[in-house]
């Protein structure tokens, strides 16, 4: 079977100008050519032309890329080094398939019930008070740095996944003006249920009847990040079909990573006559929640939030979706909120999905620079529209002992509306 690999045009015309070096977080930390976008493009070309062995070391350089897409934006000739690194991961998986990827991305992430069962120990850890006891006794200080940071990454875990308690239809308050499909991501259901419930309240308050299909699967981004494009396509097909059955006007997600992947579904099926039009129709409806709220008449909240807030741009929102003004617009609606712009707000926080696990030292270095900037702002709240970013930022802030809240901007809007109490009184 012939390898599915990048086209020559995706790497052949690099002019080695070096503009990508100035915006790459991994190159900034190590100043080595192999850790730069330009270096990865060169490795890709040499490897695919047979001048370098497609070795584990070569593929490791591709996994070292954060895929933050800053290099994609700055390249003057249209080379997309971040996309190329992801494509090379796919090449590696075709040459040397890993069984654990099949188990994780097909066995777990393709079935919401299995993923919920797999995370049951984490919910028990929270519910039974073990986590509180660990912190009260300061046992976390006995853990190795990496393990301590991974534990700190977990937000307060809900007792039940949101998918289990959320009705499929959430009625609009008052006149229903929009029929909105809600894509409930894995992390949003399992780890950020309260913040996604806030998203639904905000949508309903602003004239949306919200339909949440329970049978949707992972958006596909984790499988894409590890080279399993076959699984990405199968997950995309099932998600497209699920929303087709609901006949919604728009499909909204409050996860930047999910939104980025959902907006790429059309590119997965460009050469597929059966799915091409269906995927294009699906993609045309996808909006980040802040993007959608900025498009409709939005009720100004009557409540106040006395807080100094800064905002971190998730890479998958700002670069992949070109959405960055909208979250700031939402925050500007809230009285009492003092907004201060974050230096290097659009630089990667170091999360990049699983980098804190797979490339701990690099992830930590990039995060530390982001934390320094947060401290410069004097903010007591950091808003961000990506669960991965929020977990990464919370980890670093806990490590530094900083009492800074990390929250989705729409959750702040819900709070200004009155949250659950505001829903009751509406």
Distance CA 79, CA 62 (A): 15
- What separation in angstroms does the CA of 20 have from each of 36, 46, 139? 8, 19, 43
Residue 11, phi-psi category: left (phi > 0), alpha (psi -120 to 50), beta (remainder): alpha
Residue whose token pair is 């080379």: 79
In the β-sheet with 169-170, what is the strand arrangement from edge to edge?
169-170, 208-211, 178-182, 250-253, 286-288
Task: Give 23-36 as a DSSP string.
Answer: G-HHHHHH--GGGS
Segments making up each domain of the chain, as ranges: 8-95, 100-153, 162-294, 301-425
Residue 182: its H or E element: strand 178-182
Residue 383: its H or E element: strand 381-383
Distance CA 415, CA 426 (A): 14
pLDDT of residue 144: 84
Largest Cα–Cα distance of the chain, in whole Å? 69
CATH architecture of 301-425: 3-Layer(aba) Sandwich (3.40)
Do residues 383 and 327 touch, judged by C-beta distance below 8 A? yes
Residues in the chain: 426
Provide CB contacts within 8 A for 281, sequence distance 6+.
none
Q: Quick one: 391 exposed, middle or buried, by C-beta within 10 A (0-12, 13-18, 19+)?
A: buried
Candidates 161, 170, 164, 153; CA nearest to 188 is 161
Cβ count within 10 A of residue 397: 20
Q: Structure pTM? A: 0.93
Q: Do domains 162-294 and 301-425 have the same CATH topology?
A: no
Candidate CATH numbers 2.50.20, 1.20.120, 1.20.1050, 1.10.3230; the one for domain 162-294: 1.20.1050
Do residues 195 and 87 touch, judged by C-beta distance below 8 A? no
Per-residue pLDDT of 41-57, as tens digits, reads 999 999 999 999 999 99
Superfamily of chain region 8-95: Alpha-helical ferredoxin (1.10.1060.10)
pLDDT < 50: residue spans in the chain: 424
Candidates 275, 249, 253, 271; CA nearest to 262 is 253
């Amino acid at each position: 079977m012939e390898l599915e690999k990048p086209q020559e045009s995706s790497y052949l015309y690099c002019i080695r100008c070096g503009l990508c070096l100035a915006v790459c977080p991994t190159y900034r930390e190590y100043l080595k050519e192999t850790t730069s976008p330009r270096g990865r493009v060169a490795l890709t070309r040499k490897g695919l032309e047979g001048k370098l062995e497609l070795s584990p070391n070569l593929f490791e350089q591709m996994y070292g890329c954060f895929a933050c897409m800053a290099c994609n934006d700055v390249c003057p000739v249209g080379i997309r080094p971040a996309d190329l690194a992801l494509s090379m991961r796919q090449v590696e998986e075709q040459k040397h398939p890993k069984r654990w990827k099949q188990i994780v991305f097909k066995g777990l992430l393709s079935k919401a019930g299995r993923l919920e069962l797999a995370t049951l120990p984490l919910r028990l850890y929270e519910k039974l008070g073990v986590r509180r006891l660990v912190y009260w006794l300061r046992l976390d200080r006995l853990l190795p740095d990496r393990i301590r940071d991974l534990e700190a990454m977990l937000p307060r875990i809900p007792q039940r996944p949101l998918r289990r308690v959320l009705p499929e239809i959430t009625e609009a308050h008052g006149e229903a003006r929009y029929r909105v499909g809600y894509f409930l991501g894995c992390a949003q259901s399992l780890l950020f249920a309260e913040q996604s419930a806030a998203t639904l309240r905000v949508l309903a308050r602003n004239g949306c009847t919200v339909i949440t299909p329970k049978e949707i699967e992972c958006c596909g981004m984790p499988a894409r990040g590890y080279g399993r494009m076959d699984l990405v396509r199968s997950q995309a097909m099932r998600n497209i079909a699920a929303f087709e059955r609901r006949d919604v006007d728009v499909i909204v997600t409050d996860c930047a990573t999910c939104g980025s992947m959902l907006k790429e579904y059309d590119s997965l099926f460009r050469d597929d006559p059966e799915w091409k039009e269906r995927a294009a129709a699906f993609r045309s409806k996808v909006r980040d929640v802040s993007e959608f709220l900025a498009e409709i008449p939005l009720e100004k909240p009557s409540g106040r939030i006395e807080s100094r807030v800064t905002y971190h741009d998730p890479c998958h929102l700002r670069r992949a979706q070109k959405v960055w003004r909208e979250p700031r617009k939402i925050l500007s609606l809230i009285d009492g909120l003092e907004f201060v712009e974050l230096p290097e707000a659009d630089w990667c926080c170091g999360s990049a999905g699983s980098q804190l696990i797979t490339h701990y030292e690099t992830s930590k270095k990039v995060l530390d620079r982001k934390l320094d900037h947060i401290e410069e702002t004097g903010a007591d709240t950091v808003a961000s529209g990506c669960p991965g970013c929020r977990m990464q930022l919370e980890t670093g802030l806990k490590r530094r002992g900083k009492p800074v809240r990390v929250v989705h901007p729409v959750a702040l809007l819900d709070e200004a509306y009155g949250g659950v109490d505001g829903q009751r009184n509406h």
